[in-house]
Amino acid sequence: MAKPQPSLEKVAGDGRARFLAAVRRGVSELFVSRADKSGARIAQIAIIVGLAYLGIGGKLVNYGLSREPPQTLKGAADQAASGARPDLTDRNGRILATDVKTMSVFAEPKRIIDKDEAVELLTAVLPDVDAKELRERLTSKKGFVWVKRQVTPKEQQEIFHLGLPGVGFFPENKRVYPNGPVGAHVIGYVDTDNVGIAGMEKYLDENSLTDPHIVGFAPDPNAMKPVKLSIDLDITHALRDELLIGMDKYRAKAAGGAVLDVNTGEVIALESLPDYDPNEPGDMRDKEKINRLNVGVYEMGSTFKAISISMALESGKFNLGSRVDARESLRFGRHNIHDFHATHRVLTVPEVFTHSSNIGTARMALALGVEAHQTYLRKMGQLDRMKTELPESAEPLWPKHWTEVNTATIAFGQGINVAPLQAMMAVGALVNGGHMIVPTFLVRDQSTAMIGSHRVVSEQTSESMRYLLRSNATHGSASFANIDGYYVGGKTGTADKLFHGHYDNSQVFTTFMAITPANKPKYLYLVLYDQPQAAPGDGGYHTAAYNSGRVAGSLIRRVEPLLGEAPTYVFPQNPFPLIARLGYGADAEKVGKE
Amino acid sequence: MWRILHILAIGALLASAAYVYSAKYQTIYAEEQVVKTRHLIAKERDSINVLRAEYAHLTRPERLQQLADGALQMQALALNQIVKPESLPSPVAKVDSIGRTLE
């Protein structure tokens, strides 16, 4: 900032000096701030800056109110494209579900010049795309729309040759299930956006094991480790195959089956028929295709007797030598409990089990009372919803008003509906030494399983149950499944189905549970059939032994070698040491005749 | 003397500029190659995955069973055909039958 210099004006004589002085004055003037002019200037600047801010503010409000935030094509495609998921493998590492890259066709409506032509050409190449719907999408104001998800390489080539501006391709992940319907109820399925909808696929999403799919967050698809399920592909296939053969032979409405490792709680195989192909969208919507092991609840029939008898033994009021009166049927007002294979005599506890005596089991439960019965069933996990990794589950159905009649019928498996897998969990605990282990669909070793378990019955009660199951295979209804070489134990269950408030004995629900080997169980098998009919040559019998029992037999014969178990024809020495010391069942081959 | 030094300095400057220029372009080229290779790797990975899925599909137990049932004249495995290694008979001592005839 220069000061005015009046002395210069006087000294300057010639024009050159005057000119210089004028320039100097002009320059110095530029840097002079004069109080009289500054007010107006400040006001001007304030107005300009204020307008600029108003403009910015207005634009911000505009952005905030607009529904579709403008974004880059890449961002839009990334957000719309389906995310990556980890592979699902069986317990031996074989693929059950994996992602493959496929191309999807998208369009940018703003860049398409002739929309009618584009629709015409695209629908000519992609005949399954609805022309009207596509026109609607292309005339929308969106910056990005899908034309068709997951096209074949041939379709991609043809669209590419159309040379339409504003139509492009984006790679997407498509979930494939190489084994089709095998194990479908455990694996589950995904929607077109690769989001898990059911089964273990949904479990992956619930536990954030999939690509988080957030814009600006690039996940490393290689960092996603495959998730190992507990199921075995070969055994699941064998189970499905055997169930299908039986379903055809006995003309059943539905079937189900599972193999459970009783020491770890791992589900080795689980199948429910009719089933669906997870590769086919929409195939799973049918209500008949639910997972009957986990979502369906059924009256388990006589297989429930195992739970009732274990309760009686555990209470200490009964032992294997106790006698129960089954001479006359039990009357409760209008209700009359009678035996299917009536013996009309006093039975020992093993006889109650092998003759599947309703009267005997009901009497044993009644001797303990309603409250003890409820407490025991709750302890065995039969009155509450069982929670596994599978998102689908079902609440058991049992009478809220529970009287002695209910205890009597529930003792032999009528009047309570549970999920079959839930009943398996209880039987598994009864035979594995008394440890309640919640089934899992992920691989787990025994020590981990033991940490999460708790004891529900004593070692001795557990051994008694194994003995009873074994004796039922040698002398009872489970003889069809008594496969030589595997020391099988088992129990049948036939429940009349309830139609319009009446039990109809022509329509039954049959179950069969088997353990191998009975002296130190490793595996628990379950086979169930809904409304099986008698096969020709079976004398009209449609009870569990003839269908579920037989299928369980052929299943054991087929699956045990796959589980790495070689048959042994030498019976175990002293298979039931604890109860042998008490004088029972030293030789399981002779039981039932005692 | 100064002139020579100046020439040398200018020469060094030009040489270093040329070197930096070529180094820069080599880097850009190398970077491009890295990106290209990455794409190739990703592509290979994708195709490996497709092949894995295809292999799993073709070796699914259902299909193998169908093929075996249709093409092989084999019986179902019976349990008595399975034995443990321990229960195999111990090998008989080798008999040199040709040697014996010479004796």
> What is residue A502's three-state secondary structure?
strand
The torsion region of residue A561 among left (phi > 0), alpha (psi -120 to 50) and beta comes to: alpha
Give the closest of B56, B61, B79 to A567, CB-based. B79
What end-to-end distance do the CA atoms of chain A give, in Å? 124
Q: Which residues pair with A324 in a beta bridge?
A: A347
Q: Flag if A566 and B82 touch (Cβ within 8 Å).
A: yes
Q: Measured between CB atoms, does B65 come within 8 Å of chain A?
A: yes
Residue A256: pLDDT over 90: yes
Average confidence (pLDDT) over A264-290: 88
Q: Which residues contact A115 (CB under 8 A, 6 or more apart)?
A: A109, A135, A138, A139
Give the closest of B50, B60, B84 to A566, CB-based. B84
Give the closest of A100, A238, A566 to B49, CB-based. A100
What end-to-end distance do the CA atoms of chain B give, in Å? 108
Q: Measured between CB atoms, does B88 come within 8 Å of chain A?
A: no
DSSP code string of A182-235: TTHHHH-EE-TTS-EEEHHHHHHHHTT-S----TT----GGGSPPEEBS--HHH
- What pLDDT, in 10s, does the model give residues A38-85? 788 889 999 999 999 999 999 999 888 876 655 566 666 666 667 788
Closest Cα in chain A, distance from residue B30 (Å)? 23
Q: Measured between CB atoms, does B50 come within 8 Å of chain A?
A: yes
Residue A290: pLDDT over 50: yes
Q: Measured between CB atoms, does A484 come within 8 Å of chain B?
A: yes
pLDDT at B51: 92
Closest Cα in chain A, distance from residue B51 (Å)? 9
Best mutation target among B39, B49, B54, B87 (most A Cβ atoms within 10 Å) is B49
pLDDT at A1: 45
Q: Flag if B46 and A94 touch (Cβ within 8 Å).
A: no
Q: Which residues pair with A434 in a beta bridge?
A: none
Q: Measured between CB atoms, does B62 come within 8 Å of chain A?
A: yes
Partner B, chain A 100-159, Cβ-Cβ below 8 Å: 100-101
B-chain CB neighbours of A484 within 8 Å are 79
Tell me how far apart the alpha carbons of residues A560 and A562 are, in angstroms, rounded to a whole number.
Answer: 5
- What pLDDT, in 10s, does the model give residues A538-561? 888 888 888 999 999 999 999 999
B-chain CB neighbours of A101 within 8 Å are 46, 49-50
pLDDT at A12: 46
Q: How many domains does chain B have?
A: 1
Amino acid letter, B67: L
Tell me how far apart the alpha carbons of residues A208 and A440 are, in angstroms, rounded to a whole number.
Answer: 19
3-state secondary structure chain B: CHHHHHHHHHHHHHHHHHHHHHHHHHHHHHHHHHHHHHHHHHHHHHHHHHHHHHHHHHCCHHHHHHHHHHHCCCCCCCHHHCCCHHHCCCCCCCCCHHHHHHC
Q: Flag if A237 and B60 touch (Cβ within 8 Å).
A: yes
- What pLDDT, in 10s, does the model give residues A103-118? 888 888 888 888 888 8
Residue A594: pLDDT over 50: no
Which residue of B lies nearest to A101 if distances are taken between CA atoms? B46
Q: Do B82 and A566 contact (CB within 8 A), yes or no?
A: yes
Closest Cα in chain A, distance from residue B60 (Å)? 6
Average confidence (pLDDT) over A426-431: 94
Q: For chain A, give me the number of helices (H) and strands (E)?
A: 20, 20
Torsions phi, psi for A32 (to 5 deg): -90, 130
Domain extent at residue B14: 2-102
Q: Measured between CB atoms, does A233 come within 8 Å of chain B?
A: yes
pLDDT at A312: 93
Q: What pTM, to 2 d.p., does this model score? A: 0.79
- What pLDDT, in 10s, does the model give residues A479-526? 888 888 899 999 998 888 877 777 777 788 999 999 989 889 999 999
Interface predicted TM-score of the whole assembly (ipTM), two decimals: 0.75
Positions of A annotated as catalytic residues are 302
Give the closest of A182, A557, A561 to B62, CB-based. A182
B-chain CB neighbours of A100 within 8 Å are 46, 49-50, 53
- What pLDDT, in 10s, does the model give residues B67-86? 998 888 888 888 888 887 88
Closest Cα in chain B, distance from residue A292 (Å)? 22
* Neighbour count for residue A213 (Cβ, 10 Å): 16
Greater pLDDT, A438 or A478: A438
- What pLDDT, in 10s, does the model give residues A1-27? 445 555 544 554 578 888 888 888 877
Which residue of A lies nearest to B76 if distances are taken between CA atoms? A558
pLDDT at A435: 94
Q: Measured between CB atoms, does A566 come within 8 Å of chain B?
A: yes
Give the closest of B60, B77, B80 to A179, CB-based. B60
Tally of residues, chain B: 103
Give helix A358-368 / helix A305-315 axis angle, nearest 10°.
Answer: 40
DSSP code string of A313-366: HHHSS--TT-EEE-SS-EEETTEEE--TT---SEEEHHHHHHTT-HHHHHHHHH
Tell me how far apart the alpha carbons of residues A486 and A488 are, in angstroms, rounded to a whole number.
Answer: 5
A-B Cβ pairs (cutoff 8 Å, strict): 59
* Neighbour count for residue A54 (Cβ, 10 Å): 10
